[in-house]
Structure 1
Amino acid sequence: MRLVQVAQHADDLDRAAAFYSALLGTPAAAVFDPPGLLFFELDGVRLLFDRGAPSSLLYLHVDDVETAIARLADRAEVVSPPHVIFHHSDDTLGPAGHDEWQAFVKDSEDNTVGLVSFRPSA
């Protein structure tokens, strides 16, 4: 079994497309309006923005949380700045010997999004 799709609420598909294109560094894969659907392809998992979907908390892997936040510039409100949340001593939930960095931002549709990156521990 594998995850195929995750849905997130979006009122304005154009605004959401601009925000997530900047964050993900890739254009939208498809837009169907009507009925109000916007898709991004993320390594075999579809990220769907839907006017009728509820909000969910997404955690997206980025190469570096600080760089991702800088790339968003004035597009996002930083809810929680980059910080180490966990040290991985084994490979259970992340690469052993790495710190997990997270930051949280509000997207263009007022959803909270977690940004996650891993760095070798100092």
Structure 2
Amino acid sequence: MPAIGAVRQVALSAGRDLDSTLAFWRDVLGMGVHARYDPPGIAFIMAGDVRLLFTDGVPAGTVYLDIAGLEPFHAQAKAAGVPFTAPPTLVHHDTEGQFGPAGESEWMAFIKDPAGNTIGLVERHPPQEE
């Protein structure tokens, strides 16, 4: 069996308008374009060490991003007119420590970009923040 390492790249739909999709990621999420190639009309945004590839010809996908300050971001983005498909919600009490330190809770909110990609915003809270 091969030794698989970290995730290197995730492909997401660019939709019909690469510029509006990239503008959403820049203006709403603060994530700028790392590289762009025209033609063929593809772009990369870095999420830590993971490349997010935006191209046509792939179906809309879902990506989960860590965020610090989910509640304040939700309030600011909502006030700016960003539609959320789900507000910040407790999704998991990690009592066993399966996905991080034991006792933490995981909260998520969801938005969609202009290409239809779902973006899950994830924040873990220590037990005393419940």
1:40 to 38, 42, 45: 45
Q: Which residue of structure 1 aligns with residue 23 of structure 2?
A: 18
Question: Superposition pairs for residues 106-121 of structure 1, below 5 Å?
Answer: 106-121=112-127
Q: Which residue of structure 1 aligns with residue 90 of structure 2?
A: 84
Structure 1 segments, 4+ long, off by >6 Å, are: none
* Code of the aligned partner of 1:102: M
Q: Which residue of structure 1 aligns with residue 13 of structure 2?
A: 9
Structure 2 length as normaliser, TM-score? 0.82
Q: Which residue of structure 2 aligns with residue 54 of structure 1?
A: 59
Distance in 2, matches of 1:51 and 1:94, equals 35
- Measure how far apart 1:66 and its partner are: 2.3
Deviations 1:85-113 (A, max 9, x none): 11111321122221100111121222222
The count of corresponding residues between Structure 1 and Structure 2 is: 121
- Measure how far apart 1:62 and its partner are: 0.8
Q: Which has the larger radius of gyration?
A: 2
Structure 1 length as normaliser, TM-score? 0.87
Q: Which runs of 5+ in 2 are unaligned?
A: none
Q: Are positions 1:103 and 2:116 aligned together?
A: no
**Matched residue of 2:33: which SS?**
coil
Q: Which runs of 5+ in 1 are unaligned?
A: none
Deviations 1:30-75 (A, max 9, x none): 111221111111221101111122211111111122233324732x
Q: Which residue of structure 1 aligns with residue 32 of structure 2?
A: 27
Distance in 1, matches of 2:73 and 2:18, equals 21
Distance in 1, matches of 2:20 and 2:104, equals 35
- Mean Cα deviation higher: 18-27 or 99-108: 18-27
Distance in 1, matches of 2:73 and 2:39, equals 31
